[in-house]
Amino acid sequence: MGIVHHSNYLRYFEVARLEWLSQLGVSYSKMEKEEVLMPVINASILYKTPAQFEDLLTIHITLDKIPEVKMEFSYQVTNQNDQIVCTGKTALAFLNSESRRPMRCPQSFKSIFEKVIAE
């Protein structure tokens, strides 16, 4: 059909999230060393206009609020013409890697995220 398959947007969200965390100096490997896992527990996407295979897409990511036991992100995907392709949301839980039980956001990470929200 010449358009991007709908399932790819979740991958785009993940890449944007990893890049965003990396720019803040937070890495998943560092989190895992501190026994923190962050699985996606909810995802939603609202499609506005199809992206074509050769479109240049930009993913805008926003942390919705200071995390406690989960992190909530909003996304807006635009094409090279600044058209909104889709919007979306994801929620990631904080889990202890040993017990696999929910936990609060570690203070060392929370302080970084508080600065982002304050900006």
- Spans of all domains in the chain: 8-118
Cα–Cα distance for residue pair 13/34, rounded to 1 Å? 24
In terms of Cβ atoms closer than 10 Å to its own Cβ (0-12, 13-18, 19+), residue 104 is exposed
8 Å CB contact between 31 and 71: no
Residue percentage of the chain with pLDDT more than 70: 100
Pick the CATH number of 8-118 from 1.10.260.40, 3.40.50.1100, 3.10.129.10, 1.20.140.10: 3.10.129.10
Q: What is the pLDDT of residue 85?
A: 98
Task: Write out pLDDT tens, residues 53-62.
Answer: 999 999 999 9
Amino acid present at 60: H
Q: How confident is the model at residue 29 (pLDDT cuts 50, 70, 90)?
A: confident
Cα R_g (the chain), whole angstroms = 15
Taking residues 16-36, report their average pLDDT. Answer: 90
